[in-house]
Structure formats: structure tokens, C-alpha cells
């Protein structure tokens, strides 16, 4: 209830300040940020703009030129769709876009079947499988014989299931996917069975969940979409697992890249306050049991996201244990989503807006050098859209960012299939491996041993997974 009261107060505040936002906010972001066009980098970047468009409604694809990039520009229609919004429309406000995507009620026909997965340390995470129909209360298990692709959805790190996530589930079902939402320990009604919370960039729990999904759906490809700060977990997982991630392609919607700096500086104050309040409300349910691990007085009196994260996971808040102890800097050495970014071995699309009020200034928060130099990463950058918003005045049943992600998955799959057919044809002609393909380049060159073992039956007993 408190979160709804807070959201209502925020909406009233933004309605009062709307004229100021319209006059100053829109003018301050009148041109699209693009990498510098100098001779040194001109051969290492690729950006697309619609001919005849002004700078105000540009959609740019920023990436390193490659055969896959050219294929995406040709086959992903949403990459070239104009996102022009009339200046009088409320969607010009990035704050209203963000609140709309996060809190606005949505009567969705999608229902969820929950699987509780018991982990190797006896903790629990929840997998919510999206289904359509009124009989959602009945026990239903996904069929291991299905060849439908699985869409793994990772919500924000605070566990809030937003309107945006529900819309994505609906769009995925209409495109033939099996959507499943990954819920961390203690989040979204998941029981906290161990005195342990998941650190920001620790992919251990997600790794076991992906293996279980692979076990349940061995014939279906796995795609992954993350929202907001949940992208930190997805990027950490892809970096640690490399070519053993089981994921075909991934998309990050409004990701936060420089997470340590984001926690230290925080988003703009209304969103900072809202996120801090929401996390305190969620953790208050476990106040007694968390008292065995952290100093709850410091935890619930914290006035910033940084102090709360420190109280939960760093030495200043630990109580009677050395597990996970360390300074703030040491914590982010283990949890920075970009720590193993060079080991990512699949195509990753990042959809961002320049006016994102949660991520912050694009000049300092977007690692453009990553997209210019790494052929696996693609940045789809818009001028407007807020944080996980991307609502347009002529919007259809599918949000533009969701359409872009689903088209990206289809195009990359088709591209890989065409490359594989070309390679097999070349072998039949006796040419062998004469030509290099994108798939060859996507194999991880990690020097350490892979952390993801394929022999899942020798490690886990899947009978520990049950449904409530």
C-alpha cells in the first residue's frame, strides 16, 4: 500500500512540475548522443538513422561493424522505426514514462505457474512460468518435449514486477515463447529459507536456475531479457559462464552499466527515495531473521541505496560472520557486471534512452567504447523513452522496446542458421573451414576452466524442485 501512496504522490508532483519539465527537460536533450566521428574510430562503429528524420526522433544502432550488424539493420524493422513524440504529449517527460512503465495498472491476460527451485545450499528461488487462460490455479508443468523457445526474464534487482515485465510476457507468448520470470531469494513472495540474500552481481543462483530450465526444456533454445538493474545479474552470468551459458541471445532493457557509481551517486531524488522505500518494505518482512546476520538498526535507518547495500553485504553491516565480508571496493570487485564482459560469447542487445532519469547522464553512464569495440554488443539508443518506458503515441499492442528485443532474437537465430548452412555447404564442397563465421568468433577464449558444468545430473538432484 505504501508504494502505491508513494507512486500517487510522485504523479501529483510530476503533474505540478510538468510545465517546467516540458520547457527545460526536453530542450536539454534535443540531440541524440552519438560516438565521436573521428578517423580513428570511424572503421570501428556502426550507427543507423532513418533518412529524412530530424535529430529529435532518431533511433541509432551503435556497434562494431560486422556481418551480423548488417543483417540486423536489414531485418529488424523496429531498429529503423521513428520514435517521434509530439511536444505536448506527456510521453515527452522521461519521469512520467518511467512511472507509467513501472506502476501503471495493467489488466493482463497472463497468469503465472510458480516453480520453487531448491538450490544446492538449501535456499529457494522461484520461477514463474507465464500462461494464458482462466484455469491458472491448476497445477501445470512445462512439457520437456516442447520445442518452443524459452524467454528467461530477469526483473530489476529490487524484485518489483512492473507493468513493463507483464507486457513483455504477453508479447512473448504471442510470439510463441515460453516466458519465465526469475525471482531471487526473498523477492516477489519467494520464501527466505536461508539467512542469505543474493549479492548484486552474484550469478550463482541464476546459473542453477538456467540449468534447471535447460533440464526441463532440452529441445528449446533459451533467450534472456533483463530489466533495469536486473541487467547487472544477467551480464555477470554471461561473463562468468562465457560459451557455456546455454543462452542463444540476450537483451537488456534500460540497463545500468556503471553500478558502483550508480549506488554511490544514486538516481534523481524521487526515484532514489522510491527505490529505497520499496526495498525497506520488502526486507521488513524478514527483519527478525536478518537480525542474525546484519545490524537491522543500521539497515532500516539507512538513507541511501549505498548505505543499505553496505549494511547488507559489506563488513560494516556483517554480524558474527566473515562470509562475504569486505570493503565497499572489494564488494564491487566481485559484483561489477562488467568485470568479465570480454568473456561474453553471445549477441547482446542493450536498449537505452538518452533521457533515462534513473541511469543518469548518458555521457558518463553509457560505455560507448564497449559497443564500438566488442562485436557481441549492440546499443539501440533513442532520444526519449525514460527508464524502461519507450511508450509512443502510436503504440500498438507491443511496446517498441519489446518488439526490438524479439526481432533481435529472431534475426540472430536466422543469421546463425544461415551461417551454419553455409559452413556445412562449404564442407560438402571440400572447402572445410575456409571461411570464418560469427559463430566461430562467439566461442569464449576464457583461460580459466568453465564454471558451468554440463553434467547436471552428477551435481543436482532435481527432485528437490517442487511447486506450491
- Do the beta carbons of residue 340 and residue 20 sit within 8 Å? no
**Helix (DSSP H) and strand (DSSP E) numbers for the chain:** 17, 9
C-alpha–C-alpha distance, residues 233 and 214, integer Å? 19
Bridge partners (DSSP) listed for residue 226: 154, 252
Alpha helices by DSSP H, listed for 367-455, are 368-373, 400-428, 438-441
C-alpha–C-alpha distance, residues 369 and 371, integer Å? 5
Catalytic entry in 356, 376, 384, 402: 356
The residue whose grid cell reads 520547457 is 23
Q: Establish how many alpha carbons lie within 13 A of residue 362's alpha carbon, considering only the half-sphere containing its beta carbon.
A: 22
Catalytic entry in 202, 205, 336, 387: 387
C-alpha–C-alpha distance, residues 126 and 183, integer Å? 5
C-alpha–C-alpha distance, residues 251 and 406, integer Å? 9
Q: Is 356 a catalytic residue?
A: yes
Can you tell me whether residue 117 is helix, strand or coil?
Answer: strand
What is the distance in angstroms between the CA of the first residue and the CA of the last residue of the chain? 25
Q: Is 29 a catalytic residue?
A: no
Q: Which residues are catalytic?
A: 356, 387
Amino acid at each position: 500500500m505504501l508504494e502505491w501512496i508513494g507512486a500517487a504522490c510522485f504523479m501529483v508532483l510530476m503533474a505540478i512540475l510538468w510545465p517546467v519539465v516540458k520547457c527545460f527537460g526536453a530542450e536539454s536533450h534535443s540531440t541524440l548522443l552519438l560516438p565521436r566521428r573521428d578517423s580513428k574510430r570511424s572503421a570501428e562503429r556502426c550507427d543507423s538513422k532513418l533518412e529524412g528524420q530530424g535529430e529529435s526522433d532518431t533511433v541509432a544502432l551503435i556497434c562494431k561493424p560486422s556481418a551480423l550488424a548488417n543483417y540486423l539493420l536489414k531485418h529488424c524493422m523496429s531498429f529503423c522505426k521513428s520514435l517521434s513524440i509530439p511536444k505536448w504529449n506527456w510521453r515527452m517527460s522521461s519521469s512520467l514514462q518511467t512511472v507509467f512503465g513501472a506502476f501503471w495498472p495493467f489488466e493482463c491476460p497472463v497468469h503465472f505457474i510458480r516453480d520453487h527451485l531448491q538450490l544446492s545450499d538449501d535456499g529457494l528461488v522461484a520461477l514463474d512460468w507465464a500462461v494464458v487462460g482462466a484455469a491458472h490455479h491448476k497445477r501445470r508443468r512445462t512439457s520437456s518435449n516442447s520445442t518452443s523457445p524459452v524467454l528467461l526474464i530477469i526483473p530489476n534487482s529490487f524484485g518489483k514486477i512492473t507493468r513493463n515485465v507483464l507486457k513483455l510476457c504477453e508479447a512473448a507468448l504471442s510470439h510463441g515463447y515460453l516466458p519465465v520470470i526469475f525471482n531471487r531469494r526473498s523477492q516477489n513472495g519467494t520464501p527466505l529459507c536461508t539467512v542469505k540474500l543474493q549479492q548484486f552481481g552474484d550469478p550463482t543462483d541464476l546459473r542453477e536456475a538456467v540449468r534447471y530450465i535447460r533440464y526441463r526444456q532440452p529441445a528449446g533454445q533459451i533467450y534472456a531479457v533483463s530489466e533495469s538493474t536486473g541487467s547487472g545479474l544477467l551480464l555477470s552470468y554471461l561473463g562468468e559462464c562465457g560459451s557455456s551459458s546455454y543462452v542463444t541471445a540476450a537483451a537488456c532493457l534500460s540497463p545500468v552499466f556503471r553500478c558502483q557509481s550508480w549506488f554511490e551517486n544514486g538516481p534523481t531524488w524521487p526515484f532514489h527515495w522510491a527505490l529505497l522505500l520499496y526495498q525497506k518494505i520488502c526486507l521488513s518482512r524478514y527483519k527478525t531473521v536478518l537480525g542474525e546476520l546484519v545490524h537491522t538498526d543500521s539497515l532500516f535507518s539507512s538513507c541511501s541505496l549505498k548505505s543499505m547495500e553496505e549494511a547488507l553485504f559489506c563488513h560494516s553491516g556483517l554480524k558474527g560472520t566473515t562470509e562475504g565480508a569486505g570493503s565497499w571496493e572489494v564488494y564491487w570487485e566481485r559484483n561489477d557486471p562488467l568485470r568479465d564482459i570480454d568473456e561474453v560469447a553471445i549477441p547482446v542487445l542493450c536498449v537505452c534512452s538518452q533521457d533515462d532519469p534513473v541511469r543518469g547522464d548518458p555521457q558518463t553512464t553509457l560505455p560507448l567504447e564497449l559497443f564500438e569495440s566488442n562485436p557481441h554488443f549492440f546499443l539501440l539508443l533513442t532520444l526519449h523513452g525514460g527508464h524502461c518506458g519507450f511508450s509512443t503515441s502510436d503504440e500498438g499492442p507491443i511496446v517498441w522496446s519489446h518488439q526490438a528485443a524479439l526481432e533481435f532474437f529472431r534475426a540472430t537465430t536466422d543469421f546463425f542458421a544461415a551461417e551454419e548452412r553455409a559452413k556445412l555447404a562449404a564442407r560438402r564442397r571440400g572447402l572445410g573451414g575456409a571461411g570464418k563465421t560469427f559463430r566461430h568468433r562467439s566461442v569464449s577464449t576464457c583461460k580459466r576452466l568453465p564454471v558451468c558444468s554440463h553434467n547436471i545430473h552428477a551435481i543436482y538432484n532435481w527432485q528437490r524442485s517442487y511447486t506450491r
